[in-house]
Amino acid sequence: MKWVLMLICLLVFWVMLLSAVVDIPPMGSLKNPTNDYEVTKRYLERGKEEAACLNIVTTIVLNYRGYDTMGEVTVIFTALCGVLALLTREKRKTSFSVMDVSPVKSSLIVYTILRIIFPFILLFAIYIIAFGTISPGGGFQGGTIMAAAFIIYALVFGLLVGMRRIPLSLRVSIEGIAPFTFFIVGLIGLLSGVNFLTFMLPGLSPHYQHFLAKVMLDLLEVGIGVGGGAIFTSIFFSMHREERT
């Protein structure tokens, strides 16, 4: 009976949503409001010289709607705080992972391959972060790749080695860096007399304006990347550990 009711409810909901989806303007047509309106046109036509950034996606995400991105990195930071509220951090003396106590260690092949490949993963992450303004990619993606490197490292070598290599004090100090970088960059704008998160500072020649805007955008990318990487690593360490009683 309960199941029948649930199915009926879901069916009604489904029909309602589908009826709306049918009515949405066709994707890609030039006539539909999202493409026909001045907002999109301006982003596409004038984004390059207004926002000092070649990648249109990065332009929108970091410049036109930078405040939203500030909110999004705060959401990730909040997720970390939620994990810590439930699980607390790993402790130096009592925490260990399955890898540390299992009788079967990882094989020599895995060790060696990981040792060789680890710097390359990090290099790739740095490339993705640094080239976020001119090619696909950016802070979020690079940060997750960086975190992936550390996570693989801790999985193979065990949590004890991982905790030594990526110390807690370092991670704590860079976890909040993503929202904080936004705050600092916004303050630079405030102090030079324009609105929060403005990249084109007034009173400079156009060449320097563009250069400074590029520097600030890259700074944001690095902040998001490093902060995101630290946050994901911390979440993994908190969830992966077990406690000696």
Partner 1 sequence: MGIAHHFPILVVVVPLAAAAINPIIGMSRRKACMPFATFAVFLSMIMSAYLVAKVYFIGPVSYHLGGWKPPFGIEIYFDELSASSLLITVLGLLILIFSKKYIEKKLPAEKVSTYYTLVLLNVAGMLGFVVTGDMFNLFVFTEILSLSAYALVAIGGEKIAEMAAFKYLLVGAVSSLSILLAIGFVYSITGTLNMRDMALRLPEVHSLRVAAVAFALFIVGFCVKAALFPTHIWLPDAHAIAPCPVSAILSGLVVKTGLLGILRVFQVYRLTGGVLDLTPITTILAWLGTISIVMGAFFAFFQDDIKMMLAYSTISNIGYIVLGIGLASFDGLRGGVVHIFNHAIIKVSLFLTAGAIIHQTGFRKLTDLRGIAKRMPITMAAMSIGIISIVGIPPTNGFICKWFIALGAMEANAPLFAAALLFGALFIFAYYIKIVNAAYFREPTRKEIAEAKEAPLSMLIPVTILAFACLMMGLPLAYLPVRYVKPWIVALLRG
Name the site residues for partner 1 (rule: CB under 8 A).
16-17, 19-20, 23-25, 32-40, 42-43, 63-68, 70-72, 74-75, 77-79, 81-82, 84-86, 88-89, 169, 172-173, 175-180, 183, 186, 190, 193-200
What's the DSSP call for residue 146?
A: H
- Sign for the CA dihedral angle at 45, 47, 52, 56 comes to negative
In whole angstroms, the minimum distance from the beta carbon of 126 to partner 1 comes to 23
In whole angstroms, the minimum distance from the beta carbon of 101 to partner 1 comes to 24
In whole angstroms, the minimum distance from the beta carbon of 109 to partner 1 comes to 39
- Sign for the CA dihedral angle at 68, 71, 75, 80 comes to positive
Nearer to partner 1, 169 or 205 (CB): 169
- Sign for the CA dihedral angle at 53, 57, 58, 63 comes to positive
Nearer to partner 1, 91 or 164 (CB): 91
In whole angstroms, the minimum distance from the beta carbon of 220 to partner 1 comes to 12
In which residue are the tokens 């902060």 written?
A: 227
In whole angstroms, the minimum distance from the beta carbon of 142 to partner 1 comes to 20
Q: Partners of 96 in the beta sheet?
A: 242
Helix/strand/coil percentages in the chain, nearest 5: 75, 0, 25
Nearer to partner 1, 14 or 211 (CB): 14
Distances (CA, A) of 113 to 99, 122, 147: 18, 15, 18
Nearer to partner 1, 36 or 115 (CB): 36
Nearer to partner 1, 81 or 134 (CB): 81
What's the DSSP call for residue 61?
A: I
